Structure formats: structure tokens, C-alpha cells
């Protein structure tokens, strides 16, 4: 479904399960590809013995992490990096800013794609301007001015 929409999947999976590196190879545990921090591996594989899936597996285990990142994609191994998965949190924050945490995009009633496109452009420019203003104000405030305060109280 993701590929049919013209997107490239980049899906993280857990390290339990089996993988076959070559079409005629033996099934082996996913966690055998990177068994310790500091290791990485990428290649064409068949994942999941029960419901096999031919894909690219990107495996990376950085020091300081309890387990590796195992990422499946349809991209060629030399065209992708497991580190891209680290961009996910910032992408999710921007998505929330456009929806329920910020511009309330989900409440729009626009049906015309061209008008929605213009609104998205305005929201993108406003988000950049807002971020820049926050960055500038943060640079001008001394960290000594911050002190512990009680959380705000809200009334209905």
C-alpha cells in the first residue's frame, strides 16, 4: 500500500524473527546480523519466514543503545541509511504542529486541492517564521533568568 502510493517504506522492526540473506540461504535470527554496539549491515534479504517479504534490511547498533535499529525499505542498500530513521521524531513533531498541536489542519473544510495547497504553503512559511522567532528569542535570554516555577493552573 505504501509503495502503491508512490512512497518508499522505511519501517523499523524488532529484532526477533528470521531473515534469509540469499534466496538459497538458511534462515537465521535477525539479531545475528548486528550482535554488538558499533556494528552495521545492509543488504537485500527475505524477512519473515511465515509471511516472506523481499526487501532491503538496514541494521545498525550504535553505542549507548540497548538494541539495534532494524529498518526495512524498498530502496537499494547503497541508496539508504538506517540513520534516516533518527529523523522520525522531528518529522512527527512538525506533523503535530500542523495538526492538533498547532495550526489545526484537521479542522479545515477546504475541498479544493489548489486552495489547500496555498494554505499549506502559508502554514509552512508561518511555521518557519515561528521557529526562527523562537530561536532568536532563546538566544537573547540568559539562562540565569530561568527559575523553577509551579506549573500553570487552567480553569474551565
* Confidence at residue 130, expressed as pLDDT on a 0 to 100 scale: 78
Q: Where are the domains of the chain?
A: 10-85, 88-138
pLDDT of 136 higher than 90:
no
The answer to whether residue 92 scores a pLDDT higher than 90 is no
pLDDT in the model for residue 95:
65
H/E stretch holding 90: helix 88-98
Q: Dihedral sign for Cα 38, 28, 75, 113, please.
A: negative
Q: Can you read off the three cell numbers belonging to residue 75?
A: 530502496
Mean pLDDT of the chain: 81
* Res 45: pLDDT: 95
pLDDT digit string, tens, across residues 35-82:
999 999 999 999 999 999 999 999 999 999 899 999 999 999 999 998
Q: What is the band of 143 on the pLDDT scale with cuts at 50, 70, 90? A: very low
Amino acid at each position: 500500500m505504501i509503495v502503491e502510493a508512490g512512497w518508499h517504506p522505511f519501517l523499523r522492526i524488532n529484532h526477533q524473527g528470521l531473515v534469509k540473506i540469499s534466496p538459497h540461504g538458511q534462515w537465521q535470527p535477525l539479531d545475528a546480523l548486528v550482535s554488538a554496539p558499533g556494528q552495521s549491515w545492509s543488504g537485500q534479504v527475505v524477512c519473515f519466514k511465515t509471511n516472506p517479504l523481499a526487501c532491503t534490511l538496514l541494521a545498525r547498533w550504535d553505542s549507548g543503545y540497548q538494541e539495534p535499529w532494524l529498518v526495512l525499505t524498498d530502496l537499494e542498500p547503497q541508496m539508504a541509511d538506517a540513520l534516516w530513521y533518527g529523523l522520525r521524531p522531528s518529522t512527527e513533531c512538525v506533523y503535530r504542529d500542523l495538526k492538533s498541536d498547532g495550526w489545526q489542519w484537521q479542522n479545515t473544510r477546504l475541498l479544493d486541492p489548489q486552495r489547500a495547497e496555498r494554505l499549506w504553503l502559508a502554514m509552512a512559511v508561518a511555521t518557519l517564521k515561528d521557529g526562527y522567532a523562537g530561536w532568536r528569542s532563546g538566544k537573547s535570554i540568559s539562562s540565569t533568568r530561568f527559575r523553577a516555577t509551579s506549573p500553570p493552573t487552567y480553569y474551565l
